[in-house]
Amino acid sequence: MKMKSLSLAAGAVILASAGVASAAELWIGAAQADITPDRPISLSGQFYNRISTNVMSRCMANVLALESRDNGTPVDCAILISLDVVSLRDTQEEFKRYIANRLPGFDTNKLFLAATHTHTGPTLAQTNFNNYGNAMQPREYVPFMFERMGDAVAKAWESRKPGAVAWGLGHAVVGANRRVAYANGTSVMYGKTNVPEFRGLEGWEDHAVDILYFFDAGRKLVATTIAVPCPSQTVEHLCEVSADYWHPVREELCKKHGADLVVLGFCAPAGDQVPRLMLRNAAEERMQRLRKLNRLQELARRIVDTFEETWEVAQVDIRADVPFAHRVERFEVPGRKLTDKEYAEAKKGYEEYSKKDDKIAEVYGRKNWFKRTLDRYEAQQKAVPKGTIEMHVLRIGDVAIATNPFELFVDYAMRIQGRSPAGQTVLIQLASPVGTNGYLPSERAVAGGGYSAVPQSSQIGPEGGQMLVEHTLAAIRRLFGK
Amino acid sequence: MKKFLIFLTMAAVMTVAGARAAELWIGAAEADITPDRPVSLTGQFHVRVSSTNNILSRCKANVLAVESREQGQPSDCAILIACDVCYLPKAIQSRFREHVAARLKGFDASKLLLTATHTHTGPALDQGWYDDLGGAMPPEEYVDFFFARLAEAAAKAWTGRKPGSMAWGLGHAVTSQNRRSVYADGSAAMYGPTGKPEFRGLEGGENHTVDFLFFLDADRKPLATAITVACSAQVDEGLSQLHADYWGDVRDELRRRYGEKYVVLGFCGPAGDLVPRAILRKSAEARMEQLRKLNRRQELARRIVRAYESTWDVVKGDVRTELAFAHRVERFELPGRKITDLEYETAKRNYEPLAAKAKLVGGEAAHKNWYKRTIARYEAQKTAEPRHEVEMHALRLGDVAIATNPFELFLDYGMRIQARSPAGQTVLIQLASPVDDATYLPSERATKGGGYSAVPESSLVGPEGGQALVERTLTAINALFKK
């Protein structure tokens, strides 16, 4: 098997290799698909099932196709798709199979999907909830989404033309660390901060915004990628279809730069970040009131501001010929091993929910959450747990882009940022999944516990997280020849 | 001293009762505190002497005088002074209060407070820190000059106070990064390398909120502003040039927009573990600065001014002439940090070779004193529990609470106060109103990780005292906002 022959000693399988990139002509295509269903649908992002009652803003798939050509000959390529959904499990693999026939000659390994993590987007997995009532079933919705997305992918790829790229680093205070640490060493996601035991937010916050601007031959802005280290889950509890803050961002940028502008919103590592307020709530809310904006609009305002401010500067450095390379790797990392104590706690949780009516979606969800943990404990008696990761690493000029499939805690992003040889390093989480992934908590988060750090929330722990860091850095170094 | 403490507490209780809507009188002025002779600069262990013909920007002291009047009668007051110095040594504030008392007739000097912007290129005020300043102006001589200039501005602001108004708002500017790198073995290092495999992340959070207070005269003309940034002004910390750091650029730009007489008080929010230099994403940050044709200091000023404009644009519709005003001044003791046997041994081991040296070079003299003081503290704690005296100012201006502390306070403590404060907006100011040696106040996690800023040499008060400070601050704010 070809895949096997490309296996590295370290255990990585190179699905698409790329060495040090040399300058090449950049061809660019972009398109957008409306993936909003015309029927009520289940929304994913909470343990309980929410069926949409209306559409607050339309969910989209935004597609960017890139190809490098050297003396007219294609050298490398990529298709990046940003989707307004909470997460992607097997969706990418299914979509690759779906799209293969529509893009003859395109190596589908070079395509990846990334979720914006909106909590008000359509549910993709039929097994997510147990009863969808009269709403559109996920198994009905996915073909609908594939068709729409397939059209956009084909359009972007087939319409690619010589273009140019610019990039820059902006700042917007969007995410806050959501893990609240207490005097006894424990941490709680969204825990109370107004108690005497509160000792601080557990980790760092990242307010950098990585922006790439893509142009056609006439230097018209045709697409942009914006990576914000904050999931778009401002209105996470609503029963309305919504792309969350990405909708007003897109709307405003299209107003300023043209209705055809394609905006790919990516979520940078933000497993422990959230767009809701964690501190200074009263002062932040007052400012929103005075601006006559809700939280979602306020965050969009900040992102658009930094987009414009960065654009003012980056537009003097537009490049048509840039080094371009796209490396795709699959590798295994050690899975998180459950301790006996964690198993006992999961068992207790499972037994508690087993007594309840699992026709209630939340009971069904929680019970399965614990059940999967018990299954993992049983499985680890026979074999060491492992997780498979697909990682895309691209070089575009001085920029490195690296994906991971997790809700990755910012500690890991810092490690990559701290050691990356690239001029600018863009990290994208919840991307290119090849199975269920979940949170990837840091050492300090595991020590503190709580949702997002407990074993139920994470299949991979700090050991696997550090390995992800090392793999990512090795791939970036390879592309930058360092 | 006991009598004085009681007086301060009494005064505070009296002012709390006055936190009703009152007419606001405002005065503001600026003093140039740049000496006309070479002077020693504070902020590093080694001696740096400025030259008079090479001043990068002038160091200033900006003064705001506020008085509330109910039915024409003064009910409370405050004078806040932001100085372009690294820190204010012990007794400087009390000496200045005595110095200025005669010029501010009828003003309760305990209601005046000094703060430092923490520029590392400002004049030294502490005579004892360095052993040889060459031909530079001695700090004691500089202090006289500093007091004279400061007193003039304080008097001008106080006597020039008139009815005015105020607005406030919260903005954001990414100015700082956490400067403590954590490693796989659990240790931490200030400015530790992030480019090695053992790097596990930055120890704590960051705070990119900027608190703005806007003061206007009776004609609604901008008179003064107080800007609190959770980042010390030490971008150019290694230079041997007198320099107000990024506050110089912020002031220049705001004055260009709002008039030459606009008074800008730059305050430092809790930022003991924060720094304006880029710790991560250095090359991308540097590229953006190059493209903007700005250096780091100018870039940070640009961000602060941008936040200022964005905030002012919104809050100018909510300007108040009458608001609740009260100023509470408290002095209390915090438990001091106890030095362990191991920490003592380490300090001793570091001190002895320096003590044996006939001639000390570079930062050795300062280091020697640093370890010597730690050894002395260890000896002293055998006979008495270490205590540390703190003066805290808590003010209420409308829905805004302002609370000071004299430390380089780690952000964790700032978070605890912010989370539990009943005020609509809480402004915390560090390196303010010192009555004792003001040093770092590291958090629990920093103390565990160690490194400069968290070791006992860097801190007279530890996490126990830090939490006590949090509780005292909240008690004072709660009293001001009691309904």
Give pLDDT tens digits for A97-120. 999 989 988 999 999 999 999 999
State residue B5's pLDDT score: 40
Asked whether the beta carbons of A173 and A387 are under 8 A apart, the reply is no
Tell me the shortest Cα–Cα distance from A397 to chain B, in angstroms: 13
Tell me chain B's radius of gyration from C-alpha atoms. Answer: 22
Which of B168, B172, B187, B203 to mutate against chain A (most A CBs within 10 Å)? B172
Q: Quote the pLDDT of residue B132.
A: 66
- In one-letter notation, the amino acid at residue B253 is E
From A284's Cα to the closest Cα of chain B, the distance in A is: 7
Under a CB-based contact definition with an 8 Å cutoff, are residues B234 and B275 in contact? yes
Q: Where are the alpha helices (DSSP H) in A209-324?
A: 246-257, 281-291, 295-314
Distance in angstroms (rounded) separating the CA atoms of residues A92 and B76: 66
B278 by Cβ neighbours in 10 Å (0-12 / 13-18 / 19+) ranks as middle
pLDDT at B10: 37
What is the mean pLDDT of the segment spanning A395-414?
Answer: 98
Q: What's the CA gap between B158 and A105, in Å, rounded?
A: 79
Nearest to B444 among A169, A199, A208 (CB): A199
Give Cβ neighbours of residue B143 (< 8 Å, ≥ 6 apart).
Answer: B92, B95, B125
Q: How far is B388 from chain A (nearest CA, A)?
A: 22
pLDDT at B128 over 80: no
Q: CA A274 to CA A244: how far, in whole Å?
A: 13
User: What pLDDT band is residue B134 in, cutting at 50, 70 and 90?
Assistant: confident
Q: Residues with Cβ < 8 Å from A7, sequence gap 6 or more?
A: A13
Amino acid at B82: A
Please give the residue of chain B at the shortest CA–CA distance from A314.
B291
| Percent of chain B surpassing pLDDT 90 | 82
Please state which of the ranges A7-21, A205-219, B181-195, B309-323 shows the lowest mean pLDDT: A7-21
- Determine the Cα–Cα distance for residues A192 and A194; give it in Å rounded to an integer: 6
Q: Which of B205, B416, B443 sits opposite A205 (nearest CB)?
A: B205
Burial environment of residue A380 by CB neighbours within 10 A (0 to 12, 13 to 18, 19 or more): middle
Closest CA to B228 of B245, B211, B244, B213: B211
> Is the per-residue pLDDT at B219 higher than 80?
yes
Across the interface, do B208 and A316 touch by the CB < 8 Å criterion? Answer: no
Both structure tokens of B479: 């009293």
CA distance A31 to chain B (A): 28
Which pLDDT does position A2 carry in this prediction? 35
Q: Which position has the higher pLDDT, A7 or B102?
A: B102
Give strand ranges (E) for A191-305. 198-201, 208-215, 221-228, 240-241, 262-267, 273-274
Among the partner-chain residues A198, A201, A290, the one whose CB lies closest to the CB of B317 is A290
Segment A16-41 shows an average pLDDT of: 89
How close B409 gets to chain A, by Cα (Å)? Answer: 13
Query: B141 by DSSP, 3-state: which?
Result: helix
Kindly report the number of other CB atoms within 10 A of residue B398's CB atom: 20
Residues of B in Cβ contact (< 8 Å) with A302: 172
Of B174, B202, B471, the CB nearest to A414: B202
Q: How far apart are CA B353 and CA B132, in angstroms?
A: 20
Tell me if A286 and B199 make a contact (CB, 8 A cut-off): no
In angstroms, the separation between the Cα of residue B84 and the nearest Cα of chain A is: 27
Token readout for A136 is 């559109």
pLDDT at B17: 42
What chain B residue is nearest to A399 in terms of C-alpha separation?
B284
- A443 contacts on B by Cβ (under 8 Å): 200
Q: Which of A282, A291, A422 is nearest residue B314 as measured by Cβ atoms? A: A291
Rounded to the nearest 5 percent, the helix, strand and coil shares of chain B are 35, 30, 40
pLDDT for A277-327, tens place per residue?
A: 999 999 999 999 999 999 999 999 999 999 999 999 999 999 999 999 999
A137, with CB counted inside 10 A (0-12, 13-18, 19+), is middle
Give the pLDDT confidence score for residue B157 in this predicted structure: 98
- How far A466 CA lies from chain B's nearest CA (Å)? 9
CB contact under 8 A, A173 and B315: no
Task: Please report residues of B whose CB lies closer than 8 A to that of A205.
Answer: 205-206
Q: How far apart (Å, rounded) are the C-alpha atoms in residues A118 and A115?
A: 8
Contact B170 A283 (CB under 8 A): yes
H helices, E strands: number in chain A = 11, 26
* Residue partners of A9: CB distance under 8 A and separation at least 6: none
Contact B412/A199, CB-based, under 8 Å?
yes
In whole angstroms, give the CA distance from residue B237 to residue A463. 39
Which of the residue ranges A324-333, A407-416, B10-19, B27-36 would you say has the lowest mean pLDDT? B10-19
Contacts of A290 in chain B (CB under 8 A): 169, 314-315, 317-318
Q: How far is CA A466 from the centre of its chain?
A: 19
Cα–Cα distance, B252 to B233 (Å, whole number): 15
For residue A5, what pLDDT band results from cuts at 50, 70 and 90?
Answer: very low
CB-CB neighbors (< 8 A) of B306 in chain A? 309
A/B interface, count of CB pairs below 8 Å: 142
Tell whether the model's pLDDT for residue A173 goes beyond 70. Answer: yes
What is the per-residue pLDDT for A9?
Answer: 36
Q: Which residues of B touch A284 (CB under 8 A)?
A: 170
For testing contact with chain B, the best of A192, A279, A476 (most B CBs within 10 A): A279
Q: How far is A101 from chain B (nearest CA, A)?
A: 40
Chain segment B172-218, per-residue pLDDT in tens = 999 999 999 999 999 999 999 999 999 999 999 999 999 999 999 99
Nearest to A287 among B281, B284, B314 (CB): B314
Position B354 confidence tier, pLDDT thresholds 50, 70, 90: very high
In chain A, which residue's Cα lies nearest the Cα of B410?
Answer: A200
What's CA A106's distance to the chain center, in Å?
Answer: 23
Q: Report how far residue B176's alpha carbon sits from residue B274's, in angstroms, rounded to the nearest whole number.
A: 6
- Residue A169 to chain B, least CA–CA distance (Å): 6
Which residue from A minimizes the CA distance to B474? Answer: A196
Mean pLDDT, residues A446-459 taken together: 95
Look over chain B and give the mean of its residue pLDDT values, rounded to a whole number. 93
Using alpha carbons, list the distances in angstroms from residue B266 to B63, B399, B431.
Answer: 10, 20, 12
Look-up of token digits 């003012």: A312
ipTM comes to 0.94
Q: Nearest Cβ partner of A279 from B303, B314, B418?
A: B418
CB contact under 8 A, B420 and A198: yes
How many degrees, rounded to 5, is the angle at CA A427 between CA A78 and CA A385?
Answer: 95
Structure tokens at B152: 């003039």
For residue A442, give the nearest of B201, B205, B424 by CB distance. Answer: B201
Q: Which two tokens stand for residue B224?
A: 């003064």
Distance from the B25 Cα atom to the nearest Cα atom in chain A, whole angstroms: 25
A193 vs B420: CB contact, 8 Å cut-off? yes
Amino acid B477: pLDDT: 97
- The SS3 call for residue B62 is strand
Residue B339 DSSP class: P
pLDDT tens across B291-331, in order? 999 999 999 999 999 999 999 999 999 999 999 999 999 99
* HSE-CB for A138 with a 13 A CA cutoff: 22
Question: Which residue type is seen at B8?
Answer: L
pLDDT at B480 over 80: yes
- Contact B202/A204, CB-based, under 8 Å? yes
- A204/B178 CB distance under 8 A: yes
pLDDT band at residue B129 under the 50/70/90 scheme: low
Cβ contacts of B411 on chain A, cutoff 8 Å: 200
**pLDDT for the residue numbered A7:** 39
Model pLDDT, residue A306: 98
In order of B13, B70, B362, the CA distances from B323 in angstroms are: 19, 10, 52
| Nearest to A328, CA basis, from A85, A92, A165 | A92
Minimum Cα–Cα distance from B423: chain A residue: A282
- Residues of chain A contacting B423 with CB distance shorter than 8 Å: 282
The single residue listed with the structure tokens 């499972």 is A350
**Could you tell me which of A277, A185, A197, A274 has the C-alpha nearest to residue B416?**
A197
Q: Which of A279, A287, A444 is nearest residue B169 as measured by Cβ atoms? A: A287
Confidence of residue B53 (pLDDT cuts 50, 70, 90): confident
Do the chains contact at A419 and B199, CB–CB below 8 Å?
yes
Chain B residues close to A287, C-beta within 8 Å: 169-170, 311, 314-315
To the nearest whole Å, the CA of A90 is away from the closest chain B CA by 31
For the ranges A173-177, A238-242, B438-442, the lowest mean pLDDT is seen at B438-442
**Residue B281 exposure: Cα atoms within 13 Å on the Cβ side:** 25
pLDDT at position B483 is 65
Measured between beta carbons, which residues in chain B are less than 8 angstroms from residue A230? none
Instruction: Report the pLDDT averaged over residues B19-28.
Output: 91
Backbone angles phi, psi at A10, to 5 degrees: -70, -5
Please check the confidence at residue A435 and state whether its pLDDT lies above 80.
Answer: no
Cβ pair B255, B215 in contact under 8 A: no
What pLDDT is recorded for position B2? 40
Nearest-Cα residue of chain A relative to residue B207? A205
Q: Say whether B281 and A208 touch across the interface (CB within 8 A).
A: yes
Contacts of B210 (CB under 8 A, 6+ apart): B170, B171, B172, B173, B175, B227, B228, B229, B230, B304, B307, B308, B311
A221-228 vs A42-44, strand pairing mode: unpaired
Please answer yes or no on whether B172 and A302 come within 8 Å at the CB atom: yes
Closest Cα in chain A to B180: A204
Residue B365: is it exposed, middle or buried by C-beta count within 10 angstroms (0-12/13-18/19+)? buried
For Cα atoms B424, B430, B433, give the angle at the middle one, nearest 5 degrees: 105
